[in-house]
Structure 1
């Protein structure tokens, strides 16, 4: 009955009060609709925009993103950090059980030499007789004893110190999952951004090379007319100047192209030489006619960095309770069980297994800080300041998320408007160059008109390519700001098999390397910080999927 009563007391204590504040989702300022809503389609938020890069219908881009997901070292590092946070959570859960346990044992061998003349008055014999309680002339001078003890000490979680620590570590663990998702969103966005830059530089090189051909033809015509005495040498030098200046732009574009390819190779976890075979001939991805972005409130559940900031704030909130418990008395239970035996007198070593030779000791106690000179109170204040900073960071992350979406929508909307005008400008510039050359060949105008027309054509065509690339980058930035794309990991592990093998060969990870043992089952979108149960019942605190 006593044991049952103690168990019931422990259960009550473990589900009892927890000092410190319970986390509530901080107030945030979220707009009702996007400022640049004219760029948004009327379709509701849905799954087609989760894998938004597939909407460009570019197989090369899809392939590059898949390779980056599998090989990027930074993403793998974020996945490994999840394992570390899960191990810390497991350690904290273990503190709910007796924090200290130990088994000790001893085997003692003693020898007391006899006197040369064995008499009852001998010092050694008197000592032996005293040990065995009588006068035994043939006593064995060799004595052997053994003993073993099991001891345990348990600080009862009366004020919720360990449960608050579990709560904090649980939020930190879920924040590490959100950090991985944020790293994945960033990786996908970076791959798409650098891929668009590659295609844009390739297009600008192509445009410049086409204009070089046109200007070489103009130089040939100007040279022929000069040789025929129809124009002065000024026309030839002007044509040569323009041609050389245009040719000089190509190395700059090629340098930018090479740097973008190198950046893309890094994202894919490849050396610079490994990217060229993966880049099949292609063009700048087409600008979509509309975008599906949902409503601003979607950011609170969709963006991993917003979830991460909220979970970090929740973790800091729980640590306030941990520090408060240090101001209060702590209660503990200690117990020892063991046995001892020897070969003295009528005893035998095997008697150690007899209940009569056992020893049981149970004690309880408490400790309470008295003189801490403000140290403990200031630790609470430090924890509260850290929590407030985390709240402000969460609120700023929400505002920053809205800014990034609006910037992307603005770049998309205004870039698309510019493209419509530049498309007409390109047609007109090409026609103007042809007409200027005809008039020049017919002697109706000087070469300055041709020079101006060709310069304008090159400028307008490059502007069109640059604007097209920037508009697509606006689409990329918008979807990246919306936080979509991390769902690519669903049903897959966050750590590659090669990395897991290295870790398993080095350290005993048990079953933790299995995805179900280090990843939550519930989708992160359905698990904001405010929805994670903190207590009642106790199992919800221990289960990361609740």
Structure 2
């Protein structure tokens, strides 16, 4: 007794071995493929987020609303050859950036797998040979065949997976850009911190020279009986305290050099001679082109990451919806079975079959609908995360702008204070030499001068690091990739190692 299709079971269309049957079946299968392709679930739409019309300090002379952000801002803003050399070295050697490039390569292969799932999922060539003895009778059986099974993308299951994998690939590229931007900013900030500590050490040594002058004056006055031994003892104490501060600064300086060496992808020990010559910090007074707040949506990699993850999740909703519908498959096999090898390809030994089937999880609708709601809730969360990312990005820019502008004001104030402090030291030493003031007044001016000169050095460094933070907040720097595939930027030696380990990389890794 014949039965109709059973849910969850294969439905085979078995035909006798006639060419007319095969000719009638193939057009039927082609019609199923042509008519059946659609994509269920929501189609992705780019999200919106609240963005200000202009920056809060856009009327300041040091900023402009021009959109021409130089991709190589570290070179043109500071014009420092050492910095440019370090950035180029880091781009070629940093291991975190290489890791980000390899994650892009992984995403490319995930997309290739998703694309491959559109095609017949099972394609097998089979063969067997058996020999059996039963009741003193020996029989042989030889078999060779080809099987094919294809789940038709009737509801867009596989196309949604491709859509999701493609968005994930875009996200991995944006992650690479974020790593590149972070690397350039870290190298620049670490470089200027090194230069700042070198300047602070140099200032401390200059102050030691002044303090040693005061020590010499106090000793002469003591030897002449003009003052007590208290004056040279106090002067000597100041000298040694300032020398001790240099040791502390040198510890921080070496730690910064170690950090820079790691950013360059080299062991710290190999960079002990790195930046041994003290170099003045740049005099920064150029106008920074900020563009308009809307620009950061297309420029900042973290915003692009959030948007692409949202797109990938949107496709996952469609994939979950497709589980509500029957999965349709077609397939068949062709082969030959014979008791002797030389009879395998005789016409009487050939066999074939072709089938169509569906599987429909109708009794699991509660679980399937819960999964759809889960995927949609994840989408909504990522949408909120995207909007929050845009909002935080605006906050980053606003914070970096105010820090940069105020760093100039602080530098001006500390410059005037340091100049006044230096004048006070010169006057106090002269007056002490002439016996017009006590040594306590000299001590006060010397201690104040150490502090003021050190604050001035830090203020100069803060201007440079604050400007770096502005460019980082604006999302500038990753554009130097020039739309090249991050995988192409991986070192040739690394790709050669991969080709030698796995032959399948030939033709993929160039």
Alignment TM-score > 0.5, same fold: yes
The answer as to whether partners of 1:39 and 1:291 remain within 8 angstroms in 2 is: no
1:314 to 302, 311, 314: 311
1:35 equivalenced with 2:35 (yes/no):
no
Q: Which residue of 1 aligns with 2:89?
A: 67
1:207 to 203, 209, 229: 203
- Separation of aligned partners in 2, 1:267 and 1:513: 29
- Give the drift of 1:327: 2.0
2:397 to 405, 408, 428: 405
1:102 to 112, 117, 124: 124
What is the TM-score with the length of structure 2 in the denominator? 0.89
- Separation of aligned partners in 2, 1:192 and 1:210: 27
- Separation of aligned partners in 1, 2:115 and 2:36: 16
1:508 equivalenced with 2:500 (yes/no):
no
Q: Which residue of 2 aligns with 1:157?
A: 153
- Give the drift of 1:39: 5.5
The answer as to whether partners of 2:57 and 2:401 remain within 8 angstroms in 1 is: yes
Q: Which residue of 2 aligns with 1:540?
A: none
- Give the drift of 1:8: 5.0
- Give the drift of 1:240: 2.3
The answer as to whether partners of 2:499 and 2:506 remain within 8 angstroms in 1 is: no
Deviation string 1:114-150 (CA, Å, 9 cap, x unpaired) is xxxxxxxxxx7xxxxxxxxxxxxxxxx7654422121
Secondary structure, in 3 states, of the residue corresponding to 1:109? strand
- Give the drift of 1:434: 0.6
1:444 equivalenced with 2:436 (yes/no):
yes
Larger displacement relative to structure 2 (455-464 or 280-289): 280-289
- Give the drift of 1:284: 1.9
Q: How many residues align?
A: 481
Secondary structure, in 3 states, of the residue corresponding to 2:273? helix
- Give the drift of 1:109: 3.5
- Alpha carbons of structure 1 residues 142 and 402: separation in structure 2 relative to 1, 3 Å: same
Secondary structure, in 3 states, of the residue corresponding to 1:296? coil
Secondary structure, in 3 states, of the residue corresponding to 1:365? strand
- Give the drift of 1:169: 0.7
- Alpha carbons of structure 1 residues 11 and 483: separation in structure 2 relative to 1, 3 Å: farther
The answer as to whether partners of 1:83 and 1:512 remain within 8 angstroms in 2 is: no
1:454 equivalenced with 2:446 (yes/no):
yes
Q: Which residue of 2 aligns with 1:537?
A: none
Secondary structure, in 3 states, of the residue corresponding to 1:364? strand
- Give the drift of 1:200: 0.3
Q: Which residue of 2 aligns with 1:269?
A: 265
1:418-437 equivalence runs, <5 A: 418-437=410-429
Q: Which residue of 2 aligns with 1:13?
A: 36
Secondary structure, in 3 states, of the residue corresponding to 1:363? strand
- Separation of aligned partners in 2, 1:371 and 1:33: 56
Larger Rg: 1
Q: Which residue of 2 aligns with 1:538?
A: none
1:92 equivalenced with 2:89 (yes/no):
no
What is the TM-score with the length of structure 1 in the denominator? 0.83
- Separation of aligned partners in 2, 1:375 and 1:84: 32
The answer as to whether partners of 1:39 and 1:412 remain within 8 angstroms in 2 is: no
The answer as to whether partners of 2:143 and 2:335 remain within 8 angstroms in 1 is: yes
Q: Which runs of 5+ in 2 are unaligned?
A: 1-22
- Give the drift of 1:480: 1.0
The answer as to whether partners of 1:185 and 1:480 remain within 8 angstroms in 2 is: yes
Q: Which residue of 2 aligns with 1:166?
A: 162
Larger displacement relative to structure 2 (334-343 or 436-445): 334-343
1:479 equivalenced with 2:471 (yes/no):
yes
1:35-434 equivalence runs, <5 A: 35-37=56-58, 38=60, 40-42=62-64, 44-46=66-68, 49-55=70-76, 56-110=78-132, 143-279=139-275, 281=277, 282-343=279-340, 349-372=341-364, 374-434=366-426
- Separation of aligned partners in 1, 2:102 and 2:421: 55
The answer as to whether partners of 1:203 and 1:465 remain within 8 angstroms in 2 is: yes
Give the 4+ runs in structure 1 shifted more than 4 A: 110-113
- Give the drift of 1:472: 0.8
